[in-house]
Amino acid sequence: MTTQVQRGAETREESGFSGRSAAPAAGPSVPEASPAQVHDWLQRGEAVLIDVREPDEHARERIKGASLLPLSRFDARSAMAAAKPGQRTVFHCRSGRRSADAVRLAAASPLAHQTVLSMQGGIEEWKKCGLSVETNASVARIGVMRQVQIVIGVGVLAGTLLGWLVHPAFLLLSAFFGTGLIFAGATGTCGLAAVLARMPWNRPTAPR
C-alpha cells in the first residue's frame, strides 16, 4: 500500500485549547500513510510512531510502541531524534488534524532529515481497521480539555445567574473566567488545565 497524500484539511477533530499551543494554522496538504501501512512499517521496524495527543488521552488509550510528544509541547529535535537512520517518522493523534500540524512543524525544522508523515484518520481510523490498542479504564473518559470547557461554562453560567438573581457582584465570577480565556488564548497557557490534570480522577494507574 503506498503512502497517501491528503488533499483537504481535516474537518473532524476535537475542539479546545491546550496547555501551550505550538500548532500552526491550517496549511497545505501533508504526506499521509494509512493505519495498515503504518502497522506494516512498525512490524518491520521501518518507522517510529509518535503520539501528539495530550498525556491524559495517551494514558487512556494508546497504540503499543507509540511514544508521546504532545503537540502543545512539540519539539522538533526530540521528534527527529526518535527515528534511526532509514526509519520514517509517523505522527498520530485522535483523527488526524494535530498530527498534520506536527508534520508541518517537523518539516519546517532545519533538523528534518527523514521522511515525516501523518497517520490518516488517527487512532480512530486505526481502531476501525481492527488494529489493537492498549487501554486504561482508570483514566477519566472525559479529556482534560473538555473538563476545562465544562468548568468554565458552569462558572460563567453560575456567575450570570447569581448576578441576576442574588447580587450584581457575582458577575465578577463570569468576568474571572472570561479573563482566563483571554489569557489562555493570548499566551497559550491554561492554568486550569494544569490543575485539572493533577486531579485524582485524571491520574492513571497501571493499564490493563
Residue 25 phi/psi, 5-degree rounding, is: -65, 160
* Residue 152 near residue 66 (C-beta atoms within 8 A): no
Does residue 93 carry a catalytic annotation?
Answer: yes
Instruction: Using alpha carbons, list the distances in angstroms from residue 41 to 15, 106, 151.
Output: 30, 20, 42
Spell 176-185 as b/e; 16+ CB within 10 A means b. ebeebeeebe
Residues in CB range of 52: below 8 A, 6 or more apart: 69, 70, 71, 74, 91, 92, 93, 98, 99, 101, 102
Annotated catalytic residue within 23, 33, 93, 145:
93
The string of DSSP letters for 104-146 reads HHHHHSTT--S-EEEETTHHHHHHHTT---EE-TTS-SS-HHH
Residues in CB range of 189: below 8 A, 6 or more apart: 19, 20, 183
* Catalytic machinery residues: 93
